[in-house]
Structure 1
Amino acid sequence: MTHAATSLPIIDISALVASATASQANINHDAVANVAKQINQACREHGFFYVSNHGIAQSLIDALDSQSRAFFALDEATKMQWRMELAGRAWRGYFPLGGELTSGRPDWKEGLYLGTERAANDPLVLAHTPVHGANLFPNIEGFKTTILDYMAATTALGHAIMSGIALSLDLPANYFDARYTHDPLILFRIFNYPSQPVPDGLDVQWGVGEHTDYGLLTILLQDHIGGLQVRTPQGWTEAPPISGTFICNIGDMLDRMTGGLYRSTPHRVRRNTSGHDRLSFPTFFDPNYFARVQRIEGLPEVPDSDDSATRWDQANVHAFNGIYGDYLLSKVAKVFPQLRNDVLDQ
């Protein structure tokens, strides 16, 4: 990745990462408070920010990138051996180009859906809980281990960042862990945006159309090509890859919890015309599937918290009242309508 200019803030979170494993006596509280202050400003103004000094080894990132490229270089018939239909209600596996929809239109990308690995005798699997189960790991040497290590690393990072978000709201650092994320719903995606023409007759405009994320926090690794765009009050702005960083953005449930104080910001991805495949790796750090999402008491009132008139889907996230799993399924079923018919309606 290369450095690039951006209007989005870059936050050094080394103090947060260190505090996650330090004893209370050894935490640099002033440094942590400074990070929380920056997160507060970023979430109020943008809903997006970069994090640097995050503690995830570059060697792990490099392995993930190279092994993912090896997978996507396979022919489609081979990749379809790990197609999503084979995972059933676990909602894991490969989907081909144009196989995922945003606002009813196909996105020009292919991808691999993954998540927390759960054994067949896990109580949630035995209960047929949607989006819980075993992954379909492609037969690429080392890929399974790399994926599991990367998900573990970004999950730990998610806990650290959420503690900073809690402090940014003048809440105890463990606020979200105690109520929503002690056992978070972790969904991980590996997307490939190929640089190739769209076939005639396919209604494709974007790599990914305008949308917001569903849960609490997204931790995104981009390769060197870029293409992410964020909608700010000043208009659409580029969110280019910056060496040594992840991009973080807040989702609909944090918007709901904060009463609109922290917004889930719309974003999209340009179609890739670089001449080289573009990879991206979002980790979605979300509330537990059964967590009942509620507004945080004591936060300032936001007069225009209902922004449904300007949202991409015209939805009012503040009208939602239920467990996170219900919200997630209502959204994901629109992304893969055929899979919904084949799997979730059984």
Structure 2
Amino acid sequence: MLAEIDISSLRHMTDEAVTARAAQQIDDASSRFGFFYATGHGIPREAFDALLTASERFFALSETAKATISMNRGGTAWRGWFPVEGELTSGLADRKEGLYLGEELGPDDPRVQAGLPLHGANLWPEAVPELRSAVEAWLGGAVAVAEAIMRGMALALGLDADHFAAGLTRNPTLLFRIFHYPSQQPNSDESFGVGEHSDYGLLTLLAQDDKGGLEVRTRDGWIDVPPRDDALVINIGDMFERLTRGRFRSAPHRVVNRAGTSRYSFPLFFDPDFSAPVEPLPIATETRFPRETRWDGVDLHEPIGTYGDYLIGKVGKVFPDLAQRKLAGTGE
């Protein structure tokens, strides 16, 4: 059973005892499962409802209409829509379609001027103009929640609350996705909307509708991670496992598509500064925590260079054709 943690104290940082208790709960959940539910996050229910409604309107459009903002129009910012089976996980096509978004960056932003991949402007559908305001309202709240949880992570590791904000996430890489998992045909077998994988970065904040389908692999097998009222699902990414030398667990997870039910999910990936090296924390080098053999055989503790170098290598496997065209500078 995944823990449900009230993070309101980490948002306000006014009650030291309550904050310390939340940090301890985060430490335990991150070490045991790599997943937990966050309550007390402060994002109004109305913000989620607006996001879900606008997303449903967008994905109800024809493929021709959705393709007006397809990913091959997003350049190296890698923003836009992709169709069902247009994304690969562990080399297999996912049974989902999605919209890639991120921090809205104009041409004068230094990261855009430097030509950093995965940074730039979002693509917005003219047919659903309310989607932009819904996404931006949600992101404003979700980023503040991520910052609060990162304070809890720092405290859990015996660091100053602002340790990460002062360095690794001073300019975080912010990637936001809207995923639509279509229902299976009646009497068909269940299929994976997303196969077994772990997330690349530091922290994922997930909002989901009421349909369910997310599963996480624990040491005792696969368990469901069902929706729980307005709680967000939080999971640890590969870079936190790397930072802590295995103290925090980046758990494999997957999504099962079920007959008769479509599903929407909204993950925010709160990741390190694109140009920052990701090295184990000094506090983590004192003890080597036991490490499981990962499902994919990857050793997260091998040198990776900057986070951007690592991320581009990973994303290129998710969209290999797009990577070949865009990151090689060959256009559409």
* TM-score using structure 1 length: 0.91
Selected match of 2:12 from 15, 18, 22: 18
Superposition deviation, residue 197 in structure 1: 4.1
For residue 187 of structure 1, what is the aligned residue in structure 2? Answer: 175
Q: Distance in 2 between matches of 1:295 and 1:329?
A: 20
Selected match of 2:209 from 218, 223, 231: 223
Q: Distance in 2 between matches of 1:264 and 1:277?
A: 27
CA contact (8 A) 2:76 2:119 kept: yes
Q: Distance in 2 between matches of 1:254 and 1:303?
A: 13
Q: Distance in 2 between matches of 1:122 and 1:244?
A: 34
**Corresponding position: 1:176 with 2:161:** no
Superposition deviation, residue 105 in structure 1: 0.6
For residue 112 of structure 1, what is the aligned residue in structure 2? Answer: 99
Selected match of 2:309 from 323, 326, 336: 326
Selected match of 1:147 from 135, 138, 148: 135
For residue 43 of structure 1, what is the aligned residue in structure 2? Answer: 30
CA contact (8 A) 1:184 1:287 kept: yes
- Aligned partner of residue 38 in structure 1, secondary structure: helix
CA contact (8 A) 2:87 2:318 kept: yes
Q: Distance in 2 between matches of 1:248 and 1:224?
A: 17
What CA deviation, in whole Å up to 9, does each residue of 1:288-321 have, x standing for no partner? 100111111123523533x4xx323211011033
For residue 146 of structure 2, what is the aligned residue in structure 1? Answer: 158
Unaligned runs of 5+ in 1: 1-6, 20-26
What CA deviation, in whole Å up to 9, does each residue of 1:72-111 have, x standing for no partner? 0001111011100101100100000000001111000000
What CA deviation, in whole Å up to 9, does each residue of 1:32-57 have, x standing for no partner? 00100100110111100000111001
Q: Distance in 2 between matches of 1:220 and 1:338?
A: 27
- Aligned partner of residue 247 in structure 2, secondary structure: coil
Q: Distance in 2 between matches of 1:43 and 1:257?
A: 13
For residue 264 of structure 2, what is the aligned residue in structure 1? Answer: 279
**Corresponding position: 1:90 with 2:84:** no
Say what the alpha-carbon RMSD is for the aligned residues.
1.5
Selected match of 2:299 from 316, 319, 341: 316
Q: Distance in 2 between matches of 1:123 and 1:32?
A: 36
Q: Distance in 2 between matches of 1:239 and 1:194?
A: 19
- Aligned partner of residue 206 in structure 2, secondary structure: strand
What CA deviation, in whole Å up to 9, does each residue of 1:263-310 have, x standing for no partner? 11100001232x2321000000000100111111123523533x4xx3
Q: Distance in 1 between matches of 2:113 and 2:326?
A: 16
Letter in 1 for 2:219: P
CA contact (8 A) 1:72 1:192 kept: yes
Superposition deviation, residue 248 in structure 1: 0.2
Unaligned runs of 5+ in 2: none
Superposition deviation, residue 128 in structure 1: 1.6
What does residue range 286-297 of structure 1 map to in structure 2 within 5 Å?
286-297=271-282
What CA deviation, in whole Å up to 9, does each residue of 1:156-210 have, x standing for no partner? 1100000001101111101111111121110000000011449x9xxx9411000
Q: Distance in 2 between matches of 1:261 and 1:324?
A: 20
Superposition deviation, residue 17 in structure 1: 1.6
CA contact (8 A) 2:245 2:289 kept: no
Q: Distance in 2 between matches of 1:18 and 1:319?
A: 37
For residue 24 of structure 1, what is the aligned residue in structure 2? Answer: none
CA contact (8 A) 2:184 2:257 kept: no
CA contact (8 A) 2:20 2:155 kept: yes
Letter in 1 for 2:232: F
- Aligned partner of residue 167 in structure 2, secondary structure: helix
CA contact (8 A) 1:272 1:278 kept: no
User: May I ask how many residue pairs the two structures share in their alignment?
Assistant: 325
Seen in structure 2, the aligned counterparts of structure 1 residues 303 and 66 have a Cα distance that, compared at 3 Å, is closer
**Corresponding position: 1:269 with 2:263:** no
Q: Distance in 2 between matches of 1:176 and 1:303?
A: 21
